[in-house]
Amino acid sequence: MSNGSRVIILPPRGQRVGLSEGGFEAADRDLFEDGGAVRKAPLGGKCHDGRSDMNILRLLRGGSPESRCFIFIVTSLSGLGNAGLVALINHAAERALLGQVVGTQLLVVYLLTLVFFLLANRASLQQTNRFVQSRLEATRRRLVAKIRRADLRTLETLGQSEIYVTVAQETDHLSQTLPLMVGAVQSGFLLAFLLVYIATLSPISFVIVGGFIALGIFVFIRWQRSLSEALAEVHHRETAMLENLSHFTLGFQEIRLNADKNDALFRHFAEVTGQLKDVVVGLGGRWVTLLQFSNAFVFLLVGLVVFVLPMFFTGYTDTIFKIVAASVFAIGPMAAITSVVRLVGRAEAGLGHIYGLERRLDAGAPAAVEPLPRERSPFKAFSTIDLAQTTFAYANAEGETSFVAGPLDLSLRRGEIVFMTGGNGSGKSTALKLLCGLYKPGGGRILCDGVEITEANRQEYREIFSGIFTDFHLFDRPYGVEDAAPQDVERLIARMELADKVGFIKGRFTTRDLSTGQRKRLALIVSLLEDREVYLFDEWAADQDAHFREIFYTEMLPDFKARGKTVVAVTHDDRYWDRCDRRVALDLGMMIPGGAV
């Protein structure tokens, strides 16, 4: 079975991230909508400048000030309407209690206030939801914009699961939970109005009730922060679970062939999900305590109002009645607020992970430089490319160097066909990624026509390359060249002897469900459509049959040369080694003098 028919949840490891031909687009403007590179805000919300900041507030601070202003106004109006209803009920009840006529006038005012409240409430809920969703969408786009312009090494070390959990799962979770908090914000407004009402009745009651509520909020916030660590653990366990889950899909063929492997993987999965369950249960326990506290808090507040406050009001039954009524009305909003407190912690942690991922992407991000359009790239008409004492080192998770490629000295002339040979792990793929600017040299220089490749021109330099790496990815359509003339594409399909398998309709290939060798041919078609100056082939011919291998070495490579293209091909096909202009051999990351292996 080919890769194309595999069930895949996550993209394969080491998959390259596509950049549009222009490199950076207008959409990237969102990268800076928070006023520049994302500020450091680790879990728990401490910014790098030492200021304590809630991640949720930071998310909401972005976006248009007009929208925020509108939401503030309609939410305040909604709270005002709600408070008005409470005041009217209170007033009517008081009149009834004193034996006075309530009257239809009051009923009309009550109904009008209700309509006003419903309209304001609706506008507030809808606008807030729209605002929150557009902030999340901007965050998602900003994250992906950072991913697509990230350094390859940064992406390789981050890991696919971490990116997937953060970009997809966390933002999805937030899009469900944040709108629920709108109700709590409205309740907050109502609570504020009720407190003001109580203050007008009796300042001492306001101080007691307000002080008690402030104390409760303070305890809640402290408690929330202490949950952050547990929430971070849940995130890590979820990432581990997803990573493990991907083995079932990416390694499906292997496990279906081998029951022991299948069982062992399943045992490991059970262990990982068990650990996830344990941390979630532990977290649940802490939430139960928090919930109990919130319930107790509400009843303590009622107890305070009903049993303690009257002690201060001997003889003022009218006032105490109003205060008790207002406080009882406060129970609803209080309960609404405390019920979403749990979500606040979860949302805070989720946003913490999102901002954490952004920080890591920012740390390894190349400087934001607007590259010239490809047609105007100074390197398009290059004559020579030189690696001068160029080195690159891989480091493991502990920061220890695990492999060093180089120092490499290689001079590449336009129109040359160069074969790169060497044993497994000798550094051929690394050298290719270094050559085309996917990896930044740790030492030495890369020069194109004598111009050193730096952060400022690296993307322009990359644009002269097209590569088919061993871990290549076949996109669902030839992005960037979708508008290629169908007859040109059909001609290439026929040349790759895929005409009976694949068609090109409406800018996309009709299928990607092909054998590995056929998929590589399809990748080559895309590569040819991209029409770059230098072609990098990492063991492209390895999966081709003898017939097509022959075509590749004896027809296609000479064709590339005739069209003035430069080719660097990693190959183990020693019977075709005479088909190149030059052969460079690598061993232990170093070039072997004379090209012999």
In the complex, the residues that contact ligand ATP under the rule CB under 6 A are: 156, 394, 402-403, 422, 424-430, 470
Nearest residue (CB) to ligand ATP, 233 versus 539: 539
**Residue pair 414/556 in contact by the 8 Å Cβ criterion:** no
CB of 151 to ligand ATP, least distance (A): 13
Which CB, 191 or 541, lies closer to ligand ATP? 541
Q: Mind giving me the DSSP string for 222-245? A: HHHHHHHHHHHHHHHHHHHHHHHH
Secondary structure of 283-325 in HEC code, one letter for each residue = HHHHHHHHHHHHHHHHHHHHHHHHHHHHHHCCCCHHHHHHHHH
Taking each helix axis as running N to C, give the angle between helix 317-363 and helix 259-303, from 0 to 180 degrees, rounded to the nearest 10: 150
Pick 321 or 403: Cβ nearer ligand ATP: 403
Least spacing, CB of residue 300 vs ligand ATP, in Å: 57
Q: How far is the CB of 241 from ligand ATP (least distance, A)?
A: 23
Task: Kindly state the smallest distance separating residue 153's Cβ from ligand ATP, in Å.
Answer: 8
| Closest approach of ligand ATP to the CB of residue 271, in Å | 26
| Element spanning 157, H or E | helix 152-158
Give me the least distance between CB of 360 and ligand ATP, in Å please.
Answer: 17
Q: Do the beta carbons of residue 78 and residue 189 sit within 8 Å?
A: yes
> DSSP string spanning 253-288?
HHHHH-HHHHHHHHHHHHHHHHHHHHHHHHHHHHHH
Q: How far apart are CA 488 and CA 331, in angstroms?
A: 72
Nearer to ligand ATP, 394 or 576 (CB): 394
- Structure tokens of 563? 């069209």
**Distance, CA of 382 to CA of 559 (rounded, Å):** 19
| CB nearer to ligand ATP: pick between 13 and 277 | 13
Peptide bond into 407 cis (omega under 30): yes
The full length of the chain comes to: 597
Which lies closer to ligand ATP via its Cβ, residue 292 or residue 402? 402
Q: How deeply is 1 buried, as exposed, middle or buried, from its count of CB atoms within 10 A (0-12, 13-18, 19+)?
A: exposed
Tell me how many degrees the CA angle 256-262-264 measures, rounded to the nearest 5. 165
The smaller minimum CB distance to ligand ATP, of residues 391 and 470, is found at 470
Q: Hunting for tokens 């998929």 — which residue is that?
A: 519
Query: Tokens representing 254?
Result: 């292997």
- Give residue 558's identity as a one-letter amino acid code: P
Minimum gap (Å) between residue 429 Cβ and ligand ATP: 3
Cα 417 to chain centroid distance, Å, stands at 40
Residue among 12 and 22 whose Cβ is closer to ligand ATP: 12
Contact 89, 313 (CB under 8 A): no
Q: Kindly tell me which of 224 and 544 has the beta carbon lying closer to ligand ATP.
A: 544
3-state secondary structure of 382: coil
Least CB distance from residue 394 to ligand ATP, whole Å?
4
Pick left, alpha or beta for residue 534 (phi over 0 → left; psi -120 to 50 → alpha; otherwise beta).
Answer: beta
Closest contact distance (angstroms) between CB of 158 and ligand ATP is 12
Nearer to ligand ATP (CB atom), residue 322 or residue 428:
428
CB of 17 to ligand ATP, least distance (A): 14
State in angstroms the smallest separation of the CB of 592 from ligand ATP: 13
Helix 104-148 with 317-363: angle, nearest 10 deg:
10
In the complex with ligand ATP, which residue's Cβ is closer, 21 or 156?
156
